[in-house]
Amino acid sequence: MHIHVTGRGPALVLIHGWALHGGIFAPLVERLSPRFQLHVVDLPGHGFSRDDATPLRLPYLVNAIAAATPPAVWCGWSLGGLVALHAAATLPQVRGLAMLAATPRFVRDDSWPDAVERSVFEQFGHDLEQDYRGTLERFLALDVMGSQHARSELRALRDALVERGEPAPRALHEGLSLLERGDLRGALPTLRKPGLWIGGQRDRLVPARAMHTAAALAPADLHVAHTIDGGGHAPFLGHADHVAELLHAFVDRCS
């Protein structure tokens, strides 16, 4: 698994979302590397880890990343949030958890209304077989829908998608399955580690209200949620300064 290490200081692990790679975090790397040592992950089947055959299942991913990184705060965006949350719940070396537009459950039901319908992920899975590149384009458009900076964010996501080569089809299907079936809400009430939840006000995939609900499931004295005004599903692109400031203060506190 490819993990790019840059900067000096307390360690911060960054884990990207579905279909992309660690290069998408370039705005955060630029702002945070002067103060922190960043470990920027390319998940198996993505980016420079395209030929890594590690299954996209939480125990495998968490153990592989943990074996290659020091004690650190783990930060996950979207799908990467499930990886970071599982790590925080199971590994002593995780010093804090930062969730970027991510919740413990991405699928809507009666007990979790602020999410997307299961059929959305099922349709993406079906469409991958019919129109691989078109499906990825539609997903990127959904990422930025409603964002205050949608046009520039979509351009950044499109550039990142091809920057390190296309993701492996196997990894895309496994990632969709993880998004569809993952439910880590049960880990939150006993998660005695600091938590920071950052959501976009206009996010159509992970509503900001869901992040506040998730943070409230964890110990109140340790977890806090913030909403980025005008932000979409990738708030670290259009609102990089704000997100970096929040992460800066949080990693300092955890360290």
Q: Annotated catalytic sites, by residue?
A: 78, 203, 233
User: Position 196: which residue type?
Assistant: L
Query: Please, what's the largest Cα pairwise distance for the chain?
Result: 48
- Sheet with strand 37-41: strands edge to edge: 3-6, 37-41, 11-15, 72-77, 94-100, 195-200, 223-228
Which candidate, 83, 53, 50, places its Cα nearest to that of 65? 83
